[in-house]
Amino acid sequence: MYSVSNPFENDWVKFLHIGLCPAGPYQNGKISFKAHQYKNKLFSLLADKNDTPPPSSQDILIGNFDGREKGVFTSKHAATNIFVFVIEGAFEVQNRLMEQRDGLALYEANTFDFEALSNNAILLIIEQGVTTNHI
């Protein structure tokens, strides 16, 4: 059984739970990172200790950006389904205004541009390779 609890009696806790079907060998565990070490760039949460991204067509990237910082995401795969989620702040993604907790799905895309519109804006990207077996 799966359960979530808040250990803080008087404070709200916001969290995002992501479940993916693994493209490679199944791994379970906690991912720790310090976003300020990667300021104004995206980094893979699934990368190994040498920052090498996973060999599969799945990846989860996150970045903490200053206001007016621009970026371009380009997949390493020909066609990818991408889900973009704003954790904090505001962004312009593919000419769309996105604010905190907004999400955008981009199907069979491999590149998009974005711009942080606020300081300490946090962007999450989930990349899933397109397969020929559509359900």
Among 3-7, 20-24, 118-122, top mean pLDDT goes to 118-122
CA distances 119 to 37, 67, 87, 91, 125, Å, are 16, 4, 13, 10, 18
Please count the structural domains in the chain.
1
Give the CATH number, domain containing residue 103. 2.60.120.10
Percent of the chain whose predicted confidence (pLDDT) is above 90: 44
Q: Read off φ and ψ for residue 44, nearest 5 degrees.
A: -80, 130
Residue 116 included in any domain: yes
Domain encompassing residue 59 = 54-129
Residue 104 is predicted with a pLDDT of 97
Residue 122 inside a domain? The answer is: yes
In a domain, 120, yes or no: yes
pLDDT over 80 at 112, yes or no: yes
pLDDT the model gives residue 40: 95
Whether 45 is in a domain gets the answer no
